[in-house]
Structure 1
């Protein structure tokens, strides 16, 4: 029998849309892994999924495992025979192999000669291996939450109703979740609910398409996108495509049909973000913008049926969204009856962390740090303090309690309504930036000061009570807080010493059980985030280690050094100079050198050491002003010229001269050479 297509489909009740992609990929991975472990050849796999099914197609699946030669090793030859007769060890090994002793062979190894046995083992039929492979693939699925159904003890994400396993045109007997395999699948729940008998595994996609089901999730996703854009074009509008929403909607339908509805223009008086959150979170609608980027009183919904009366479906969606938007309008009007600043007292009732107090306590701690940062970066201290006081006030508003994703955004709207300073109001939204690695940073100095101070308070506080992140456990998102802080300082070109800021942040806490060594611990944790930052920038781990070896505590300076050493590492001279610095480091560490870099020129006798001394002296004069202005790349370009005199020195000069004065002078020369590079990084680490 030649290689055939294998089709596996598990039919279920509607799966959680957010879990479908992970379940589908895992199902395909499990089957692929099982086949690989069994040694069964196949050309490729494709995962399919809809809300009601997980399916995998395996193309060109061999009908059996390949035959293989099995070799077994028995006792050593010396232990297998005594006086020319087989011992019990030899006889026992022969019996285990199902042969007589004279049918065994001798195996020569580097450790001696052993009794052995070889046989040709025939591969098993693929159909006999599949039941165990499929059962393991199903039971290994990353189900977010199991449930039971009926009187059965079987558990899965949703009740399972059918199980298809076709190898070519043959059903492969197997069972999972209490279901026996067959060739029966089902189409769309409403358009084609009747059973479908699949004649061949290759008929799967067409048979379902004829039954109003698009099983290929990428094709279904593309259709949704095309339809949404087409509907928007009819209205001369721009559809805002949220990728997460697109994925979620894709997990809700088997036959997508885009429909456009409208809502009352009076709701446009409410901030657009409120309306959009309501439409996305509650109804899974795509919103529309006009030519000026303003929200239009319309939406696009994706229906799972192709109705003969689409106007009724649209009317139903319009009826549902109306009270949702009315709620948003009510929350907005209610919230504006109270000034944002008047809500600060309510923060005393909201616990930030049991051992760290309330949000009011957090604001009080952050205020001094934010004011200090504002002063350092040319901002306004009073604005920074005011923004810190108002920063979390919107968390106790009706709107944010209903839509938590609007925190900061609503703070800005309410602050503007109250007549707060424009920069203070903007900072309330900016405090949450950046939300991810490539996100924008706060544009205002007040926003930058607030964002950094708030994160440093969280980092020092959580570390200070002994809840450092471990593995995948990071409930307070400290990794994101650390990386966000670094990004603000780097992208904002803020010349801030992180150690000093951490010392100030720690000082704001009245009591921390893990206060000893806390500043250094948090500093090390934050600077370690540069490892991931470097990777994202295409900078090697060796370059990171070279810079990390130096006591640099200003993130902006750290990043400048990383980029400079990264460029230097690509130069032809870099490898030789890195090796030389490694050699210098080894020499100095082994000798009782006092660390002096003061060289006595009168003690220089060899031409090579004189040349190196002159080159180092000349370079120092050139690079000192470059170091002072953080022009590290330019400085390393100058230092690259040292390669030739360094190579000549090590080729022609004996460092460990008999005369102690000469020896110490040469060590000082090497130390002065090393010191030049250490102004940027320990480039010896590039040898790792």
Structure 2
């Protein structure tokens, strides 16, 4: 390798615009597959570089001119087959002809206890210019894509139609045929400023040439330009950009040469609530709102055009015109909504279908009211809080019938809260309506008000048991109704707020299933989904076996952190190990015990064991430290019990009593943890 000569290899795949959300992932996978193929083909490379814009995928590396030499060890016949009484056999002769070797050039290797003849055969080598085109064709043909399409009359499929391929090895054009396109030495600038073809004579001239035709291939640099220029323009206008990182990523992958600019709209539109204006700008137009230092919206936005062009004023005017039309619609819908109080929409929920198998949203509201009525004593709220929960249940889906939400579905809950506040609803009711979809993803915030947390639990429990009861569930990679997201929200609210009091998620799901009149088997199915989602959220912080051991027990989930920390603090102790071993032995016997009887009284060591288990089981559920003290007394008695007592006594009555005691003690030791998974 030290004597190898390296040349610059670059391949650029030119396509019609790749959807922005796929650009980065597709670029990374293209580069990964190219590097893997270079290694597989014995082409040494260094300094790999990848880049992408919506119109091109680029991979570059310094690649050796020739494949490296490699000797393959080819196994031949067993020695016992190759020779008979020291005389070569036809099997050996055939192997020698195949590998073009003499007998003295062979070596021996033992495989599976048998000795074989082995020949070192040097693989043929090819030049990089011969191998690289095959690599590019193979990678492009097998590159995984989120979706693909055909174009023209050919059978090639790619995420978007491929229009050119540039493939250079220093100053040599590599002849690649892939996706119905033959490669060349031509690239193109950005559509606005340099749509014409640009010839590249040498791979080392590629990057400067791109810059000359206003293509910034580095996505991170495009983001930086947008942010830095945007901040400067906003400061000049007396405000700041309301940056959204996901939107910034998207916009950076919509352009090849970003040119940020400011636009504006009439101040009269500021009567419309901020979420509506921001949604109009961000979601519908890919604009960044501008805010005053006090956080209030400015009648201005930051947009990004592709390329420089000579008509920025015209572009600004066009963007302002489009946004003005959207804001005019939004203001019209908002004013229309002001004419009807939120509560007057509730009867209309009877006409809004939740799902064909699940009835309407009015049916869902009725179930939630019944579910709350049946669990009213569970919650850590006073009478006023309970009244707020009932009011929130009546109102929380009413914004589905408002004009603004009909036009901007992503504002469900947000608009309901705005209208509730305007109509004088209590703050807890407003917050419950606003927070009904939180948390909606990992890391999202949990409702911080009890009423909102209660509504979130009731709503999600009903959704899960109703959908599962109708056999509409998350399976494998399919989750068309977002039930995993719903389950995660339920799990996090239950674990991170105290509103359920001493009750458990199992209690809530079982009661919701009863109200929804679904099969009791659904309870375990939903509980398993919710538990798995909670584990997925906590696995970055805690080992999976610990989570499994704790969540195998039914308990109020706000105690989860305490129970996990207990394992962390005690796992290395002698008592921890002894308790685990004692539990596993007890559980192994109890699992196959068959009929058992637990007597009220036992004598001798059995009586001591029963008394020690009683102590461990009667300690208050939240008093983990006292339970651990009882376990410290219990474990030695378990050891003495197994030393002195024959559990499987020939007398059936004695045997059943002792097996019953074993089960009872296993319950005491396993009160907080399933030790068998630790």
Distance 1:303 1:327 in 2: 25
Query: What pairs up with 1:226-245 in 2 under 5 angstroms?
Result: 226-245=228-247
What per-residue deviation string (whole Å, max 9, x for no partner) do you get for residues 419-450 of structure 1?
Answer: 44443233211111111222222233332222
CA offset digits 1:207-254 (Å, max 9, x no partner): 212221111111111111112222222233231111111011101111
Q: 2:480 aligns with which of 475, 486, 489?
A: 475
Name 1:522's counterpart in structure 2: 526
Unaligned runs of 5+ in 1: 605-609
TM-score w.r.t. the length of structure 1 is 0.86
Change (3 A) 1:13 1:667: closer
Distance 1:648 1:499 in 2: 33
The residue that corresponds to 1:443 in the other structure is 448
Q: Determine the C-alpha separation between the residues in 1 that align with 2:576 and 2:582.
A: 10
With structure 2 as the length reference, what TM-score do the two structures score?
A: 0.87
Contact (CA 8 Å) 1:370, 1:388: kept in 2 or not? Answer: no
Residue 556 of structure 1, CA deviation: 2.7
State the secondary structure of the residue aligned to 2:45: coil
- Among 266, 269, 277, the alignment partner of 1:267 is 269
Partners in 1 of 2:182 and 2:647 — Cα distance? Answer: 88
Shift in CA distance, 677/661, structure 1 to aligned 2, threshold 3 Å: closer
Contact 2:647–2:659 (Cα < 8 Å) also in 1: no
Q: 1:683 matched to which residue of 2?
A: 675
CA distance in 2, matches of 1:299, 1:124: 57
Match of 1:70 in 2: 72
Contact residue 234 and residue 241 of structure 2 kept, 8 A: yes
Preserved contact between residue 289 and residue 296 of structure 1 (Cα < 8 Å): yes
Distance 1:468 1:273, change over 3 A: same
Whole-angstrom CA distance in 2 between matches of 1:431 and 1:575: 44
Q: 1:85 to 1:518 in 2, by over 3 A?
A: same
Structure 2 Cα separation of the partners of residues 523 and 553 of structure 1: 13
Residue 198 of structure 1 corresponds to 200
Is the Cα–Cα contact under 8 Å of residues 280 and 286 in structure 1 kept in the other structure? Answer: yes
Of residues 401, 415, 420 in structure 1, which corresponds to 2:420?
Answer: 415
* 2:440 match: secondary structure: coil
184, 187, 192: which one pairs with 1:185?
A: 187
Q: Which residue number corresponds to residue 342 of structure 2?
A: 340
Choose which of 371, 390, 406 in structure 1 pairs with 2:411: 406
| Distance of 1:150 and 1:542 partners within structure 2 | 54
- State the superposition RMSD in angstroms: 3.6
Cα distance, 1:565 vs structure 2: 2.5
CA distance in 1, matches of 2:218, 2:580: 53
Displacement of 1:505 in angstroms is 1.4
Aligned residue pairs: how many?
664
Measured against aligned partners, the alpha-carbon deviations of 1:320-373 in whole angstroms (never above 9, x if no partner) come to 211111011011112222232332343333322221112222222222223445
The match for 2:511 among 504, 513, 518 is 504
- Give the match for residue 58 of structure 2: 55
Contact 2:647 2:658 in 1 (8 A): no
Q: Is the alpha carbon distance of 1:482 and 1:559 closer, same or farther for their aligned partners in structure 2, counting shifts above 3 Å? A: farther
The DSSP-based 3-state class of the residue aligned with 1:399 is helix
Matched, 1:29 2:16: no
Measure, in 1, the Cα distance between the counterparts of 2:188 and 2:433.
52
The question of whether the paired residues in 1 share the 8 Å contact of 2:33 and 2:139 is answered with yes
Aligned-partner Cα distance in 1 for 2:570–2:85: 73
SS at match of 2:443: coil
Quick check: 1:498–1:554 contact (8 Å CA) kept in 2? yes
* Residue 48 of structure 1: how far off its partner (Å): 0.5
Q: CA deviation at 1:594?
A: 6.2
> The residue matched to 1:18 in structure 2 has which SS?
helix
The corresponding residue for 1:535 is 539
Change (3 A) 1:509 1:409: same
> Could you tell me how far apart the structure 2 residues matched to 1:682 and 1:274 are?
50
Which residue number corresponds to residue 256 of structure 2? 254
1:280 aligned partner: 282
CA distance in 2, matches of 1:660, 1:325: 80
Contact 1:28–1:56 (8 Å) recurs in 2: yes
* Secondary structure of 2:21 counterpart: coil
Q: What is the aligned counterpart of 1:17 among 15, 20, 28?
A: 20
Deviations 1:88-133 (A, max 9, x none): 5444444433457787665544533334433222443333222232
- For residues 41 and 343 of structure 2, what CA distance do their matches in structure 1 show? 67
The 8 Å contact of residues 596 and 671 in structure 1, kept in 2 or not, is answered as: no
**Residues 564-598 of structure 1 deviation map (CA, whole Å, 9 limit, x = unaligned):** 32333366764455345445655777999967797
Structure 1 residues 624 and 285: CA distance shift in structure 2, 3 A: same
Separation (CA, whole Å) in 2 of partners of 1:366 and 1:91 = 84
CA 1:671–1:161: 2 relative to 1, 3 Å = closer
In the alignment, structure 1 residue 175 sits paired with structure 2 residue 177: yes
Identify the match of residue 219 of structure 2 among 217, 220, 225: 217
Check whether the contact 1:373–1:449 (CA below 8 A) recurs between aligned residues: no
Aligned residue in 2 for 1:607: none
1:5 equivalent among 8, 24, 44 = 8
Picking from 387, 390, 413, the partner of 2:392 is: 387
Contact 2:171 2:201 in 1 (8 A): yes
* Counterpart position of 1:361: 363
Alignment partners' CA distance in 1, 2:589 and 2:643: 9
Over 3 Å counting, the alpha-carbon distance change for 1:624 and 1:553 in structure 2 is closer
1:666 to partner: Cα distance = 11
Q: Give the corresponding residue for 1:493.
A: 498
CA–CA separation in structure 1 for the residues paired with 2:75 and 2:56: 48
**C-alpha separation between the residues in 2 aligned to 1:471 and 1:602?**
51
Q: How far, CA to CA, are the matches of 1:144 and 1:488 in structure 2?
A: 33
Alpha-carbon distance in 1 for matches of 2:128, 2:637: 68
* Contact in 2 for aligned 1:578/1:683 (Cα 8 Å): yes
Judge conservation of contact 1:597–1:668 (CA < 8 Å) in 2.
Answer: no
Q: Distance in 1 between matches of 2:592 and 2:149?
A: 66
Contact 1:597/1:669 (8 A) holds in 2? no
Q: 1:287 and 1:631, CA in 2 relative to 1: closer, same or farther beyond 3 A?
A: farther
- Structure 1 residues 680, 108: CA separation in 2 closer, same or farther (over 3 Å shift)? closer
